[in-house]
Amino acid sequence: MLNGNLFVPKHIAEKLNIKENIMYAVLRNFMNNQNKTCYPSIATLSDTTGWCPNTVRKWLRKLEEKGVILIKKRIIKKQGKKWNDTNIYHFILEGVVQNNNNSTSKNRDKLNKKEKNKNMTVQTIKDKLLKKYDNSIVQKALQCLKRATEHGTVINHLLNYLNAICTKILKQMELIKGIDSLEVGKHDIKKGKSPSANNTRAKVKTKFHNFEQRTSKYSAKELEDMVRYKFK
Protein backbone atom coordinates (compact mmCIF):
# COMPACT_ATOMS: atom_id res chain seq x y z
CA MET A 1 0.00 0.00 0.00
CA LEU A 2 1.27 3.47 -0.87
CA ASN A 3 2.25 5.68 2.05
CA GLY A 4 2.03 9.12 0.46
CA ASN A 5 5.72 9.19 -0.53
CA LEU A 6 4.85 8.78 -4.21
CA PHE A 7 6.70 11.61 -5.92
CA VAL A 8 9.99 12.25 -7.69
CA PRO A 9 12.38 15.12 -6.83
CA LYS A 10 12.65 17.69 -9.61
CA HIS A 11 16.37 17.22 -10.29
CA ILE A 12 15.74 13.49 -10.82
CA ALA A 13 12.46 13.81 -12.74
CA GLU A 14 14.18 15.96 -15.36
CA LYS A 15 16.44 13.03 -16.26
CA LEU A 16 13.60 10.54 -16.78
CA ASN A 17 10.76 9.95 -19.21
CA ILE A 18 7.16 9.30 -18.14
CA LYS A 19 7.40 5.56 -17.48
CA GLU A 20 10.78 5.90 -15.80
CA ASN A 21 9.29 8.54 -13.49
CA ILE A 22 6.42 6.19 -12.62
CA MET A 23 8.81 3.35 -11.87
CA TYR A 24 11.05 5.60 -9.77
CA ALA A 25 8.08 7.01 -7.83
CA VAL A 26 6.74 3.55 -7.03
CA LEU A 27 10.19 2.29 -6.01
CA ARG A 28 10.78 5.41 -3.91
CA ASN A 29 7.57 4.67 -2.02
CA PHE A 30 9.41 1.76 -0.38
CA MET A 31 12.58 3.76 0.36
CA ASN A 32 14.12 3.79 3.83
CA ASN A 33 14.90 7.44 4.54
CA GLN A 34 17.89 6.61 6.75
CA ASN A 35 20.01 4.58 4.33
CA LYS A 36 18.15 5.51 1.10
CA THR A 37 17.55 1.89 0.10
CA CYS A 38 14.64 -0.47 -0.40
CA TYR A 39 14.18 -4.12 -1.33
CA PRO A 40 10.64 -4.83 -2.61
CA SER A 41 10.17 -7.98 -4.69
CA ILE A 42 9.44 -7.87 -8.40
CA ALA A 43 5.98 -9.30 -7.65
CA THR A 44 5.26 -6.44 -5.22
CA LEU A 45 6.36 -3.83 -7.76
CA SER A 46 4.30 -5.57 -10.43
CA ASP A 47 1.17 -5.46 -8.26
CA THR A 48 1.77 -1.79 -7.40
CA THR A 49 2.38 -0.59 -10.96
CA GLY A 50 -0.02 -2.95 -12.70
CA TRP A 51 2.78 -3.96 -15.08
CA CYS A 52 3.94 -7.48 -15.81
CA PRO A 53 7.19 -8.62 -14.10
CA ASN A 54 9.25 -8.38 -17.30
CA THR A 55 8.12 -4.78 -17.85
CA VAL A 56 9.04 -3.93 -14.26
CA ARG A 57 12.52 -5.41 -14.76
CA LYS A 58 12.90 -3.45 -18.00
CA TRP A 59 12.20 -0.07 -16.41
CA LEU A 60 14.32 -0.85 -13.37
CA ARG A 61 17.24 -1.46 -15.72
CA LYS A 62 16.47 1.81 -17.47
CA LEU A 63 16.67 3.64 -14.14
CA GLU A 64 20.01 2.01 -13.40
CA GLU A 65 21.31 2.96 -16.87
CA LYS A 66 20.24 6.56 -16.23
CA GLY A 67 22.35 6.50 -13.05
CA VAL A 68 19.57 7.30 -10.55
CA ILE A 69 19.56 3.93 -8.77
CA LEU A 70 21.99 1.09 -8.19
CA ILE A 71 20.70 -2.51 -8.19
CA LYS A 72 22.40 -5.13 -6.05
CA LYS A 73 21.41 -8.77 -6.29
CA ARG A 74 21.19 -10.86 -3.13
CA ILE A 75 21.67 -14.60 -2.83
CA ILE A 76 20.76 -16.60 0.26
CA LYS A 77 21.66 -20.18 1.22
CA LYS A 78 19.02 -22.62 2.39
CA GLN A 79 19.76 -26.28 3.08
CA GLY A 80 23.02 -26.06 1.17
CA LYS A 81 21.41 -24.52 -1.92
CA LYS A 82 21.62 -20.97 -3.25
CA TRP A 83 18.41 -19.02 -3.79
CA ASN A 84 17.82 -15.59 -5.27
CA ASP A 85 16.55 -13.08 -2.73
CA THR A 86 14.97 -9.70 -3.49
CA ASN A 87 17.25 -7.04 -4.96
CA ILE A 88 18.45 -4.06 -2.95
CA TYR A 89 17.85 -0.73 -4.66
CA HIS A 90 20.09 2.20 -3.70
CA PHE A 91 18.86 5.71 -4.46
CA ILE A 92 22.12 7.27 -5.59
CA LEU A 93 20.97 10.84 -6.16
CA GLU A 94 19.09 11.06 -2.86
CA GLY A 95 21.77 9.91 -0.45
CA VAL A 96 25.01 8.04 0.09
CA VAL A 97 25.21 4.47 -1.16
CA GLN A 98 26.54 2.23 1.62
CA ASN A 99 28.01 -1.23 1.33
CA ASN A 100 29.06 -3.74 3.96
CA ASN A 101 32.41 -1.96 4.45
CA ASN A 102 30.81 1.52 4.71
CA SER A 103 32.78 2.54 1.62
CA THR A 104 31.30 4.23 -1.42
CA SER A 105 34.30 4.31 -3.75
CA LYS A 106 33.37 1.14 -5.62
CA ASN A 107 29.82 2.29 -6.10
CA ARG A 108 30.96 5.68 -7.36
CA ASP A 109 33.28 3.98 -9.87
CA LYS A 110 30.43 1.82 -11.03
CA LEU A 111 28.19 4.86 -11.39
CA ASN A 112 30.82 6.76 -13.38
CA LYS A 113 31.22 3.80 -15.71
CA LYS A 114 27.48 3.61 -16.24
CA GLU A 115 27.36 7.34 -16.96
CA LYS A 116 29.99 6.91 -19.66
CA ASN A 117 28.05 4.03 -21.22
CA LYS A 118 24.85 6.07 -21.02
CA ASN A 119 26.42 8.93 -22.96
CA MET A 120 27.36 6.61 -25.83
CA THR A 121 24.64 6.98 -28.44
CA VAL A 122 23.76 4.37 -31.03
CA GLN A 123 25.50 6.47 -33.69
CA THR A 124 28.70 6.59 -31.61
CA ILE A 125 28.62 2.82 -31.17
CA LYS A 126 27.92 2.36 -34.89
CA ASP A 127 30.94 4.52 -35.79
CA LYS A 128 33.17 2.40 -33.55
CA LEU A 129 31.90 -0.82 -35.11
CA LEU A 130 32.43 0.50 -38.66
CA LYS A 131 36.14 0.79 -37.87
CA LYS A 132 36.29 -3.00 -37.41
CA TYR A 133 33.53 -4.38 -39.66
CA ASP A 134 31.93 -3.71 -43.05
CA ASN A 135 28.77 -1.62 -43.22
CA SER A 136 26.70 -4.66 -44.28
CA ILE A 137 27.74 -6.56 -41.14
CA VAL A 138 26.96 -3.60 -38.87
CA GLN A 139 23.55 -3.13 -40.49
CA LYS A 140 22.69 -6.80 -39.91
CA ALA A 141 23.76 -6.47 -36.27
CA LEU A 142 21.52 -3.43 -35.83
CA GLN A 143 18.61 -5.38 -37.30
CA CYS A 144 19.23 -8.14 -34.74
CA LEU A 145 19.26 -5.48 -32.01
CA LYS A 146 15.95 -4.07 -33.23
CA ARG A 147 14.29 -7.50 -33.20
CA ALA A 148 15.63 -8.22 -29.71
CA THR A 149 14.31 -4.96 -28.27
CA GLU A 150 10.93 -5.50 -29.94
CA HIS A 151 10.68 -8.80 -28.04
CA GLY A 152 11.38 -7.02 -24.75
CA THR A 153 15.04 -8.00 -24.35
CA VAL A 154 16.92 -5.69 -21.96
CA ILE A 155 20.51 -5.02 -23.11
CA ASN A 156 22.83 -3.50 -20.53
CA HIS A 157 26.05 -3.26 -22.56
CA LEU A 158 25.04 -2.23 -26.06
CA LEU A 159 28.56 -2.00 -27.52
CA ASN A 160 29.58 -5.46 -26.27
CA TYR A 161 26.27 -6.91 -27.48
CA LEU A 162 26.62 -5.50 -31.02
CA ASN A 163 30.32 -6.38 -31.18
CA ALA A 164 29.54 -10.02 -30.35
CA ILE A 165 26.83 -10.15 -33.03
CA CYS A 166 29.17 -8.61 -35.65
CA THR A 167 31.83 -11.21 -34.83
CA LYS A 168 29.32 -14.06 -35.28
CA ILE A 169 28.05 -12.63 -38.58
CA LEU A 170 31.62 -12.26 -39.88
CA LYS A 171 32.44 -15.89 -39.01
CA GLN A 172 29.25 -17.08 -40.73
CA MET A 173 30.08 -15.10 -43.88
CA GLU A 174 33.61 -16.56 -43.98
CA LEU A 175 32.19 -20.05 -43.56
CA ILE A 176 29.69 -19.51 -46.40
CA LYS A 177 32.48 -18.24 -48.69
CA GLY A 178 34.51 -21.36 -47.96
CA ILE A 179 31.57 -23.62 -48.77
CA ASP A 180 30.84 -21.72 -52.02
CA SER A 181 34.46 -22.07 -53.18
CA LEU A 182 34.30 -25.84 -52.62
CA GLU A 183 31.07 -26.07 -54.62
CA VAL A 184 32.61 -24.15 -57.54
CA GLY A 185 35.61 -26.49 -57.56
CA LYS A 186 33.36 -29.56 -57.70
CA HIS A 187 31.33 -28.01 -60.55
CA ASP A 188 34.47 -27.39 -62.63
CA ILE A 189 35.70 -30.95 -62.14
CA LYS A 190 32.37 -32.38 -63.34
CA LYS A 191 32.62 -30.30 -66.55
CA GLY A 192 36.19 -31.41 -67.18
CA LYS A 193 37.61 -27.98 -66.56
CA SER A 194 40.31 -29.09 -64.20
CA PRO A 195 43.49 -27.41 -65.50
CA SER A 196 45.70 -29.75 -63.56
CA ALA A 197 44.22 -32.82 -65.29
CA ASN A 198 44.63 -31.31 -68.79
CA ASN A 199 48.20 -30.32 -68.11
CA THR A 200 48.98 -33.82 -66.84
CA ARG A 201 47.59 -35.42 -70.00
CA ALA A 202 49.56 -33.06 -72.24
CA LYS A 203 52.83 -33.94 -70.53
CA VAL A 204 52.40 -37.74 -70.66
CA LYS A 205 54.86 -39.40 -73.05
CA THR A 206 55.12 -43.04 -74.19
CA LYS A 207 57.87 -44.99 -75.94
CA PHE A 208 56.16 -44.31 -79.25
CA HIS A 209 56.15 -40.53 -79.00
CA ASN A 210 59.00 -40.28 -81.57
CA PHE A 211 57.55 -43.02 -83.85
CA GLU A 212 57.19 -42.08 -87.49
CA GLN A 213 55.30 -44.23 -90.01
CA ARG A 214 56.96 -45.15 -93.31
CA THR A 215 54.04 -43.71 -95.20
CA SER A 216 54.26 -40.33 -93.51
CA LYS A 217 56.89 -39.15 -96.04
CA TYR A 218 54.51 -39.67 -99.01
CA SER A 219 51.72 -37.42 -100.10
CA ALA A 220 48.16 -38.67 -100.53
CA LYS A 221 48.52 -38.65 -104.35
CA GLU A 222 51.69 -40.71 -104.24
CA LEU A 223 50.13 -43.26 -101.87
CA GLU A 224 47.10 -43.60 -104.15
CA ASP A 225 49.35 -44.23 -107.20
CA MET A 226 51.32 -46.85 -105.27
CA VAL A 227 48.16 -48.73 -104.28
CA ARG A 228 46.80 -48.73 -107.88
CA TYR A 229 50.14 -49.99 -109.19
CA LYS A 230 50.18 -52.85 -106.71
CA PHE A 231 46.73 -54.12 -107.64
CA LYS A 232 47.12 -53.87 -111.44
Q: Print the domain residue range for 104.
A: 1-118
Asked if the structure places residue 159 within a domain, the reply is yes
* 117: CB partners within 8 A, 6+ apart: 65, 157, 158, 159
- Going from the first residue of the chain to its last (232 residues), give the mean pLDDT of each consecutive group of 10, the final group possibly shorter: 66 90 92 89 91 93 90 81 83 61 51 54 80 87 81 74 87 81 63 53 56 63 70 58
Q: How many CB atoms lie within 10 A of CB 10?
A: 7
> Which of 96, 118, 140 is where one domain is finished?
118
CB of 56 within 8 A of CB of 46?
yes
Domain count, the chain: 2
% of residues, the chain, pLDDT over 70: 65
Domain annotation covers residue 219: no
In a domain, 226, yes or no: no
Average pLDDT over the chain, rounded to whole? Answer: 75
Domain's final residue, options 118, 147, 179: 118
pLDDT tens-digit map of 102-153? 444 555 555 555 555 555 676 788 888 888 888 888 888 888 887 877 777 7
pLDDT of residue 114: 54
Do residues 70 and 170 both lie within one domain? no
Residues 151 and 181 placed together within one structural domain of the fold: yes
Which of 118, 134, 162 is the endpoint of a domain?
118
